[in-house]
Chain A
């Protein structure tokens, strides 16, 4: 791998994870806020709300994980190297 390709790959890997973390971060914040509001309004529904919240948080988290997969491909299995 020549140096310009490796430099570009490292920068791109950082950007892939960093940018992919923005959206899910906002989404997870909104979802958790909504869940807290729901629990405050209806504390007896806590168990059900928590289950749904965890599941949806994991879905949002997987969006960042896609960015991470791209970053890992760039770092360890770079197709342009």
Chain B
């Protein structure tokens, strides 16, 4: 449903308007796939170029990539612990980089240049399906981490420190992916909508501070998603015992 009865020259405010691809009985949101493929391509190209001909003294792109690696390693190590963080570093790093690049790419790349028959290209994380998929992956990851590390003793987590907490801990398993996915989705969609409304009201200069704020919050959201993933995995491993 379009929010406004007439089309705008600069921004279209529409939610729930998609480019549908049909595969069998499934309907896919095509614009999300297209934009995430483009962004994944950009990410792979960056990493590929940056890691070609590596030098001992990092320069340029290699320097940036090494900084990113250090940053993600610190997130993982602080939350998972010295012993096992290396196993989960690729997962957390992939999530962080994909979310970060999608959030910023959705805001910075002029998607309007590419015409679609229906719907509009934008940040892939502004679609609930993307974020739910990532949140469920996180759930699977920490169950796998806990079960492979502890076996069935993993479920001791539910009755610690007291068995009274059992129902709450079980409910928590459902609210974790819910809050993870809604937080990311809501923040990015809210950013896009706030910028869209401001562009509609005042097309020049005034939306810029809100766009900068949006860039800031979307970077923080990527950090939060990665931190929480690391924290949940660390909780599943519960090394303290």
Interface residues of A (CB under 8 A from B): 54-55, 58-59, 61-62, 65-66, 68-69, 72, 75-77
Main SS at interface, chain A:
helix
* A76-B1, A76-B16, A77-B16 as given contacts; A66 in contact with B182, CB under 8 Å: yes
Residue B220 CB within 8 A of the other chain: yes
The complex places the Cα of A69 from the Cα of B185 at a distance, in Å, of 8
Decide if A55 touches B186 in the complex (CB within 8 Å): no
* A58-B217, A76-B1, A76-B15 as given contacts; A65 in contact with B186, CB under 8 Å: yes
Decide if A58 touches B220 in the complex (CB within 8 Å): yes
Decide if B224 touches A68 in the complex (CB within 8 Å): no
Q: In residues 179-193 of chain B, which contact A (Cβ within 8 Å)?
A: 179, 182-183, 185-187, 189-190
Interface residues of B (CB under 8 A from A): 1, 15-16, 179, 182-183, 185-187, 189-190, 217, 220-221, 223-224, 227
* A55-B227, A58-B224, A59-B224 as given contacts; A68 in contact with B217, CB under 8 Å: no
Question: Which residues of the other chain, A, contact B183 by a CB distance below 8 angstroms?
Answer: 62, 65-66
Could you count the A-B residue pairs with CB atoms below 8 Å apart for me: how many are there? 40
The complex places the Cα of A18 from the Cα of B185 at a distance, in Å, of 19
A-B contacts, 7 listed (Cβ < 8 Å)? A55-B220, A58-B220, A61-B217, A66-B183, A72-B15, A72-B189, A75-B1
The complex places the Cα of A59 from the Cα of B217 at a distance, in Å, of 11
The complex places the Cα of A68 from the Cα of B189 at a distance, in Å, of 10
The complex places the Cα of A54 from the Cα of B183 at a distance, in Å, of 15
Decide if B186 touches A69 in the complex (CB within 8 Å): yes
For the complex formed, measure the closest distance between the CB of A28 and the CB atoms of chain B, giving whole angstroms.
13
The complex places the Cα of A63 from the Cα of B189 at a distance, in Å, of 15
Given contacts A61-B217, A66-B182, A72-B189, 15 further A-B contacts (CB under 8 A): A54-B220, A55-B220, A58-B217, A59-B224, A61-B187, A62-B179, A62-B182, A62-B186, A62-B187, A65-B183, A66-B179, A69-B186, A72-B15, A75-B15, A76-B15
